[in-house]
Amino acid sequence: MATILSADRLLTALRDEGLEVIEHRSWRTNSRNHKGAVGPMHGVMIHHTVTSGTASSVELCYNGHSALPGPLCHGVIAKDGTVYLVGHGRANHAGLGDDDVLQAVIAEKELPPDNEANTDGNRHFYGFEAVNLGDGKDPWPAAQLLAIERAAAAVCRAHGWGPRSVLGHLEWQPGKVDPRGFTMSSMRTRIGKRLGSSAEGPAESSAKPRHEPFPGSAYFKVGRRSAIVTAMGKRLVAEGCGRYQVGPGPAWSEADRKSYAAWQRKLGYSGRDADGIPGKSSWDRLKVPNT
């Protein structure tokens, strides 16, 4: 029986997975616990916000609205991959769903069709809202998809769950379409690889080394703190391109930019193409290991 992670454990799990996490206002005490039980926890549910703009989306998910009081999830995932924690405990995100789906999640089996709304999902699921209009046209940046993967994997890792403990709102409650723009099957495959397992089986002890997918150039900015930055710096040092007096460390810095520029020049880039901001081609060739 899985008890909900404490606020500190949730925060640590997310950061240990390499995410940039911002604690929004009084998220640790923002809950709907007075309206119902919390736990046992059985999985992670992914949503889209049907909004645009980070600040307004975070506030909406923290406060809710007149018809649905907040918090509307536990974390909001922005387009640049930053996770904003907005609630802890019971949150108004899952609503009523299918009991057969819940049993499949618990057993980590293939999900059946969601054709009933008879079970309280707010009690049993962590919820992450990703900022997206949900119209099928609003893009899903690589950094945001990576953050969804990491956030779900972080919670699963903390509980010892596999990728089939992750589902979309559309797989739980009849009539829901979120998340729209990528498939949950593909996301579970990504999560499984991160956890060292597959959707069908247990951990792969002989898995080949994996490398960090390119998180997007916008990821590398002043104020970014991530294990990815540290891993990148270590690879740059190994390639003879390190320009660090101290480090490398998790905070993106001018030393990181200069080091990456040296790597770009080593690859034959020049001018604006060697500005020290990672691009996909140079990143893929650097082969930064998964953190």
Q: Does residue 56 fall inside a structural domain? A: yes
Ranges 13-22, 95-104, 281-290: which has the least confidence: 281-290
Domain boundaries, position 26: 7-195
Q: At which of 195, 229, 244 does a domain end?
A: 195
- Clarify whether residues 184 and 239 are in a common domain: no
Query: What letter would DSSP give residue 35?
Result: G
Question: What's the CATH number where 83 sits?
Answer: 3.40.80.10
* Total domain count, the chain: 2
Query: What letter would DSSP give residue 135?
Result: S
- Clarify whether residues 167 and 59 are in a common domain: yes
Return the pLDDT at 198: 55
Q: Does residue 210 fall inside a structural domain? A: no
Return the pLDDT at 197: 66
Phi-psi map region of 8: left, alpha, beta (phi>0 left; psi -120 to 50 alpha)? alpha
Instruction: Kindly report, residue by residue over 62-91, the tens digit of the pLDDT.
Output: 999 999 999 999 999 999 999 999 999 999
Instruction: Kindly report, residue by residue over 30-71, the tens digit of the pLDDT.
Output: 999 999 999 999 999 999 999 999 999 999 999 999 999 999
Determine the average pLDDT of the residues in 156-162: 92
- Clarify whether residues 182 and 243 are in a common domain: no
Instruction: Kindly report, residue by residue over 176-204, the tens digit of the pLDDT.
Output: 999 999 999 999 999 999 998 655 444 44
Determine the average pLDDT of the residues in 149-160: 94
| Share in percent of the chain as helix, strand, coil (round to 5) | 40, 10, 50
Instruction: Kindly report, residue by residue over 215-235, the tens digit of the pLDDT.
Output: 899 899 988 988 899 999 999
- Clarify whether residues 104 and 187 are in a common domain: yes
Q: ω before 250 within 30° of 0 (cis)? A: no
